[in-house]
């Protein structure tokens, strides 16, 4: 199971994908003369990124991520400057290929924009789902307790109220216990 990797000045090599993802990426970096720490990805000839730099388990088989007998381009992944607010942002994907086709560059640019918009949207959604503060919890609990007890003094604790605040209907046995309780109080 082999793939073709294109890079540089119209150079290419074959890579066996019947191995771990980590081993394959190290092989690709070595063959292309890239630094081991450089963040790279592969894209198909039409520009579809494989998003390999996001793989969580590098020990998995590369066959899970790549299709045999397909040609891929190596792309550098440009993220935000370390230590800044944009550190995890997607800035660009640059094909490491001399004279890449324009439609490939456009496709990579569009995917980069989409990834960044999705990342920002996810961050906004996470911000909206922050756990409530202790003060907010206490005030909402106090409002619920006051709402339940206010104006409902005539309702017996035995009967209680429905969810909408209306008195619950009492069964015959409960009515009997309540009447016996009242008679005991008056004696």
With bands split at pLDDT 50, 70 and 90, how would you rate the model's confidence at 149? very low
Residue 52, φ and ψ in degrees, nearest 5: -70, -25
The pTM for the full model equals: 0.63
- Taking alpha carbons only, the member of 76, 92, 66 closest to residue 14 is 66
Q: Which domains are delineated in the chain?
A: 2-128 (3.10.20)
Q: What is the pLDDT of residues 36-46, one digit of tens each?
A: 888 999 999 99
Q: For residue 102, what is the DSSP state?
A: H
pLDDT exceeds cutoff 50 at 178:
yes
Q: What is the pLDDT of residues 12-55, one digit of tens each?
A: 999 999 999 999 999 999 999 999 888 999 999 999 999 998 88
| Dist. CA 107–CA 113, nearest whole Å | 10
In b/e form, how buried is each residue of 163-173, taking b as 16+ CB within 10 angstroms?
eeeeeeeeeee
User: Mean pLDDT, to the nearest integer, of 143-165?
Assistant: 46
User: Mean pLDDT, to the nearest integer, of 92-119?
Assistant: 90
| Dist. CA 166–CA 164, nearest whole Å | 6
| Dist. CA 113–CA 118, nearest whole Å | 9
């Amino acid at each position: 199971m082999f793939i073709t990797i294109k890079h540089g000045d119209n150079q290419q090599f074959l890579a066996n994908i019947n191995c771990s993802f980590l081993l394959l990426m190290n092989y690709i970096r070595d063959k292309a003369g890239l630094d081991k720490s450089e963040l790279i990805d592969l894209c198909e000839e039409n520009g579809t990124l494989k998003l390999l730099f996001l793989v969580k388990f590098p020990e998995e088989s590369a066959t899970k991520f790549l299709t045999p007998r397909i040609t891929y381009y190596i792309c550098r992944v440009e993220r935000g400057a370390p230590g800044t607010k944009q550190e995890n942002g997607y800035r660009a994907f640059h094909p490491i290929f001399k004279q890449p086709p324009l439609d490939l560059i456009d496709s990579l640019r569009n995917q980069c924009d989409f990834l960044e918009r999705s990342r920002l949207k996810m961050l906004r959604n996470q911000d909206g789902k922050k756990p409530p503060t202790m003060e907010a919890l206490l005030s909402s609990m106090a409002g619920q307790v006051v709402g339940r007890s206010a104006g409902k003094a005539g309702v017996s604790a035995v009967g209680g109220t429905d969810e909408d605040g209306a008195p619950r209907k009492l069964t015959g046995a409960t009515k009997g216990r309540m009447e016996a309780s009242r008679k005991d109080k008056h004696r």
